[in-house]
Structure 1
Amino acid sequence: MEPPKGFLATLWNFICFLPYFIGLLLLGTIKGIIFCFPICLIMTIGNSSVILGLLPYHCYFTYYSIVSTKLLGPFLKLAVCIFLPVVLILWVVVGIVGSILGGILYGFLSPMFATFDAVGEGKTNVFIHCFYDGTWSTIKGSFTVVKDFKDVCVHSYYSFMEELRQKDGQYYEIRFLYLLPALIAAVLGFLVDFPMISLIAFCKSPYMLVKGWHRLFHDLVGREGPFLETICVPFAGLAILLWPLAVIGAVLGSMASSIFLGAYAAVIVYQESSFWYGLCYIVASLSIYDEYSTDVLDMPEGSCLPRPRYRRHRNESFSKSDSFRPPARIDSLTNARLDLKPLELLEGLFKECQVHGEKMVSEGLITSKDIDDAKSIKGSRVVSIGLPAYCFLQALLRSVDANRLGILLSDNTEITATNRPKDAFFDWFLNPFLILKEQIRAENLSPEEKDYLGKLVLLCGDAARLKNIGSPPESERKRAELDALARRSECN
């Protein structure tokens, strides 16, 4: 629905909407308060039981895997085994505290979101759904969270440890000669990076405050962005009021990250076997942060700070992990790259849905009833959710088979962190799929398991229809892993 044109029409629409919105907000808040405690209790007790119940097994199998792995040398194994109890204690504390906080947030926000979503366009029996939506679905969702958490702690943990224990590859050992220089470099990195990065963040904070407010008020006046959907209006309005706190949090986050950014000099010294490269990194890390923050704030590119070479091989990035690479705009200073457009990606998705949809119809997996339901108000989970999720899953499987870092589309276009569209939506979209792709890669699925997983995603776990798609894997553990992957594919 198009927003009203003109100041008076917009003002009258706002006045009429205000009591309606306040009523929904109060109802959602009451439902959130009612369900907050029981949902928190379910998730806390469930996740805590999993953590504490599996703790002896985790302790034993972790020590066993570390001692028997061929990737670590004897001195490194000894050091890891000495410090492992600290990690296990932190795992228990973080897991239980995270379950409590996650249960509170999920139990409070899920009924509130469902209350606003109940009055969306095309909904029937709105009055009943305002009270019912977000109640039983939230309870079922909390049990699903506990079940997925159990699958991760049992099956994913076991698969990771088995891979660590059986994998042959690069041999790692402690080189005592470079431990002291690495420690000195870490201290120097902290002493230099903490005050300098804090100063850079403090100087850029006014620009972030003004730019954020300008963008939010622009969306508010034009009913665009987060203010376009009714369910998002209260939280987008709250963002305007709390934006200064977000800026303060960004400054504090930069100050905290500077500790790890400076301490990474120890890793550079140890990896490159050179104290000089560690000192060069300390200087270059300031330029890295300056360019990264400039890119996030969409300021003019580049940095006035020097950036000396701190790796023996010039093509190596700041970190070997793709999740902590320099931002895409830094790469664009030296290398040409292809920027993908949102409409192009959506058009590609529609074509994929058409191709796979026709194939599924010919195979009888998508029936005429599914198509008729999709055309009606009732909707069809198979067509509306299962088919797009199936297309995304095929892209992930294609990327795993091709051993690509990003997501490989059918036309051989690869979506990565450097060429993705600049919209914030694609940040939320890309990262979960990259994580899911790595989880699929770790499972090392056979062709039969990939086919079963695809049908499981397409049919949205419909037990009655899954009986006719072929035999599931014989291993109960593998079936649980495929069920968990299917649920994550549909949620993403």
Structure 2
Amino acid sequence: MEPPSGVLASLWNFLRFLPFFIGLLVLGTFKGIIFCPLVCLIMTVGNTAIILGLWPFHICWTYYSVVRAKQLGPLLKIVICICLPAPAVLWLVLSIIGSILGGALYGFLSPIFATFDAVGEGKSNVLYHCFYDGTWDTVKGSCTVVRDFQDVCYHSYLSVMEDLRRHGPQDGKYYEIRLLYLPGAIVAAALGIIVDFPLISLVALFKGPYMLFKGWRRLFHDLIGREGPFLETICVPFAGLAILLWPLAVVGAILGSMASSIFLGAYAGVVVYQESSFWFGLCYVVASLAIYDEYSNDVLDMPEGSCFPRPKYRKEGPLSKTTSRTFSESSSIRNPPSRTLSFNNPMVDLKPLELLESLFKESQHHGKIFVLEGLITQQDIENAKSGKGSRVISIGLPSYCILKTILRSAKSNSAGILLGDNTEITSTNRPKDAFFDWFLNPFLVIKEQIKALNLSEAEEDYLCKSVLLNGDPTKMKNSGLGSSPESEIRRAELDGIARRLQGITRSISRYPTSRRNFQNLVKKLSENLATMNGDSNKSSNGTIPRSKSAFARVPSFLSGSFKNKTTNTGSDQERQLVVERDVDIV
């Protein structure tokens, strides 16, 4: 949609938009006021119960894991055990306060955003959705947040602690601490907090009004001229809402600066320990004020430099790592990407949690085939249900789906990662989210490694088998899905790729929503197995029922195994007929 040209056209467009926006805002605010207390109560009570209930367990198990950790030295274990009560109490207080504030914000803002989203382009029955969206969905969303929070506090926490206990030191050297410099580091960290917190807070409060009026000026300029966030029709309501909520953003930036000043000042202790000099720690306490002042000037597009002194606090190099990072961030801010480039290469609209859900949907898709083939058995499903864990389902199956995506990207010579719906994620159009920073680059590296290996069909089948079944040695030996490469170097390369994929999948399994999606996956696989067993009983009478689901093409490394394996789910002919029937459905 082209923006209006001329002052009168811009003014008329603004006047026509204003009543529409105000009406949606009033309706969304009314719904937010109604549902905010209920949603806040659900999230506060639910999360607080989880926090208080697991807090003694967290303390005891953390002490146990630290003591048993193989990669931590004896002195470091003692120091951690002595300092552990402080973060434990801090977690208890901050998490409860965060649950209250998060519940209130979610309960109030979610109905408002849902009301604006209901009038987006392509929506049908707009009037109904304006009143309904953001009501019951917000209540269900708050319950889902509590459930995901429980999974993170229990299952993800146990997974992290298990890695801490089992992983040995790299290169045979465990982490240790030098007690000689520890008192000086503690004193420097305390001085840094005492000095930086009030001074940085004053600087943030001083620059807050400038940030407020500068942001309003930019937003109102874009609103009248239909530029920037107001260029696309679907973004207009949210951009208009940004004008009203901009003071909250400024307050949040000030509070964030005050909170970050604690960590910025405490970093003086790290400088003392790394440089083995208390003097360098004191120099950093002074320099950190200039670092924050220069960084905030870059963000607000104010004149460069700082009125605070900036002494040298590192032995090597004229520029510290923090300075280099500040300069690089300043360069990126001073030279933002042009609007023309952003519209020619639009950013892919992908949310990390949505991407996780699509991964588990793909796992359900391939899991149906593996249940049919017998690679996923009733015992695997029962182990997954009982909490014992089934590496084939929890790690192998998602890793296999990721591998298929990487193989598809490599074969199509994609510059990035090609998803199943032909959406391509590259380093230029990827969403600006930490999730994609953590996992996209390793996927790109693995893709280039696979392209460089130039895998044959047999090697590709072996890699798929290794990724899926590496956690179950018995199935690896008895699967009958082809032999491993004759070259030991080639086999080691493929096994290394398989281990990296499984390690990435293990990290993904700790994300919020992962546990809930995994339970849904196990439930679906159990239903598929029960349906298949029922179909086998019916087929013994001469009829084969038509499945409601559609399977994709059977992977190549499974195609020859129908003749070599027998399971308790029916004859080979019956299973082959079911596969052919479902392929025809596709």
Per the normalisation by structure 1, the TM-score is 0.64
Q: Judging changes above 3 Å, is the alpha-carbon distance between structure 1 residues 191 and 53 closer, same or farther for their aligned structure 2 residues?
A: closer
| Higher mean displacement: 122-131 or 1-10 | 1-10
Q: For 1:144 and 1:338, how far apart are their aligned partners in 2? A: 38
The equivalent position to 2:502 in structure 1, one of 433, 437, 446, is 446
Q: Does 1:231 align with 2:287?
A: no
The structural deviation recorded for 1:304 is 7.2
Check conservation: 1:29, 1:112, Cα contact below 8 A.
Answer: yes
The equivalent position to 1:277 in structure 2, one of 277, 280, 283, is 280
Q: Which amino acid aligns with 2:182?
A: L
Q: Which amino acid aligns with 1:25?
A: L
Q: Does 1:297 align with 2:300?
A: yes
Check conservation: 1:269, 1:278, Cα contact below 8 A.
Answer: yes
Partner of 1:211: 214
Check conservation: 2:21, 2:237, Cα contact below 8 A.
Answer: no
| Higher mean displacement: 296-305 or 279-288 | 296-305
Partner of 2:76: 76
Check conservation: 1:35, 1:135, Cα contact below 8 A.
Answer: yes
The equivalent position to 2:185 in structure 1, one of 179, 182, 185, is 182
Check conservation: 1:283, 1:308, Cα contact below 8 A.
Answer: yes
Partner of 2:131: 131
1:113-170 alpha-carbon deviations (Å, 9 max, x no partner): 1112112222221111112222232233223322322221222211211111122235
Check conservation: 2:216, 2:243, Cα contact below 8 A.
Answer: no
| Higher mean displacement: 84-93 or 300-309 | 300-309
Check conservation: 2:118, 2:133, Cα contact below 8 A.
Answer: yes
Q: Judging changes above 3 Å, is the alpha-carbon distance between structure 1 residues 195 and 106 closer, same or farther for their aligned structure 2 residues?
A: closer
The equivalent position to 2:313 in structure 1, one of 302, 310, 316, is 310
Q: For 2:106 and 2:116, how far apart are their aligned partners in 1? A: 15
Check conservation: 1:227, 1:236, Cα contact below 8 A.
Answer: no
Check conservation: 1:116, 1:230, Cα contact below 8 A.
Answer: no
1:11-59 alpha-carbon deviations (Å, 9 max, x no partner): 4444443333333222222222222233223323332343334334323
Q: Which runs of 5+ in 1 are unaligned?
A: 351-363, 366-389, 399-407, 472-492
Correspondence 1:366-385 to 2 at 5 A: none
Q: For 1:467 and 1:53, how far apart are their aligned partners in 2? A: 43
Residue 446 of structure 1 aligns to a residue whose secondary structure is helix
Residue 314 of structure 2 aligns to a residue whose secondary structure is coil
| Higher mean displacement: 22-31 or 70-79 | 70-79
The structural deviation recorded for 1:184 is 4.0
The structural deviation recorded for 1:187 is 5.0
Check conservation: 2:184, 2:278, Cα contact below 8 A.
Answer: yes
Q: Judging changes above 3 Å, is the alpha-carbon distance between structure 1 residues 249 and 153 closer, same or farther for their aligned structure 2 residues?
A: closer
The structural deviation recorded for 1:106 is 1.5
| Higher mean displacement: 269-278 or 224-233 | 224-233
Residue 293 of structure 2 aligns to a residue whose secondary structure is helix
Partner of 1:160: 160
Residue 265 of structure 1 aligns to a residue whose secondary structure is helix
Q: Number of aligned residue pairs: give it.
A: 399
Q: Judging changes above 3 Å, is the alpha-carbon distance between structure 1 residues 225 and 345 closer, same or farther for their aligned structure 2 residues?
A: closer
Q: For 1:97 and 1:199, how far apart are their aligned partners in 2? A: 24
Q: For 2:279 and 2:328, how far apart are their aligned partners in 1? A: 28
Q: For 2:74 and 2:504, how far apart are their aligned partners in 1? A: 40
Partner of 1:353: none
Residue 326 of structure 2 aligns to a residue whose secondary structure is coil
User: Larger Rg: 1 or 2?
Assistant: 2
Check conservation: 2:189, 2:267, Cα contact below 8 A.
Answer: yes
| Higher mean displacement: 176-185 or 432-441 | 432-441
Check conservation: 2:185, 2:268, Cα contact below 8 A.
Answer: yes
Q: For 1:145 and 1:326, how far apart are their aligned partners in 2? A: 35
Residue 269 of structure 1 aligns to a residue whose secondary structure is helix
The structural deviation recorded for 1:270 is 1.4
Q: Judging changes above 3 Å, is the alpha-carbon distance between structure 1 residues 149 and 260 closer, same or farther for their aligned structure 2 residues?
A: closer
Partner of 1:117: 117
Q: Judging changes above 3 Å, is the alpha-carbon distance between structure 1 residues 439 and 137 closer, same or farther for their aligned structure 2 residues?
A: farther
Partner of 1:261: 264
Q: For 1:149 and 1:438, how far apart are their aligned partners in 2? A: 28
Q: Which amino acid aligns with 1:446?
A: Q
Check conservation: 1:295, 1:327, Cα contact below 8 A.
Answer: no
Residue 124 of structure 1 aligns to a residue whose secondary structure is coil
Q: For 2:432 and 2:174, how far apart are their aligned partners in 1? A: 36
Q: For 1:51 and 1:435, how far apart are their aligned partners in 2? A: 28
Q: For 1:98 and 1:196, how far apart are their aligned partners in 2? A: 25
The structural deviation recorded for 1:181 is 2.6
Q: For 2:19 and 2:228, how far apart are their aligned partners in 1? A: 22
Correspondence 1:427-446 to 2 at 5 A: 429-434=432-437, 445-446=501-502
Q: For 2:49 and 2:550, how far apart are their aligned partners in 1? A: 31
Partner of 2:384: none
Check conservation: 1:301, 1:329, Cα contact below 8 A.
Answer: no
Q: For 1:201 and 1:195, how far apart are their aligned partners in 2? A: 10
Q: Which amino acid aligns with 1:141?
A: G
Q: Judging changes above 3 Å, is the alpha-carbon distance between structure 1 residues 266 and 110 closer, same or farther for their aligned structure 2 residues?
A: same
1:290-335 alpha-carbon deviations (Å, 9 max, x no partner): 3322321234555576655433443995469xxx9535246889xx
The structural deviation recorded for 1:255 is 5.2
Q: For 1:147 and 1:105, how far apart are their aligned partners in 2? A: 18
Q: For 1:449 and 1:180, how far apart are their aligned partners in 2? A: 40
Q: For 1:338 and 1:6, how far apart are their aligned partners in 2? A: 27
Q: For 1:118 and 1:57, how far apart are their aligned partners in 2? A: 44
Q: For 1:431 and 1:315, how far apart are their aligned partners in 2? A: 30
Q: Judging changes above 3 Å, is the alpha-carbon distance between structure 1 residues 349 and 136 closer, same or farther for their aligned structure 2 residues?
A: closer
The structural deviation recorded for 1:68 is 0.7
Partner of 1:149: 149
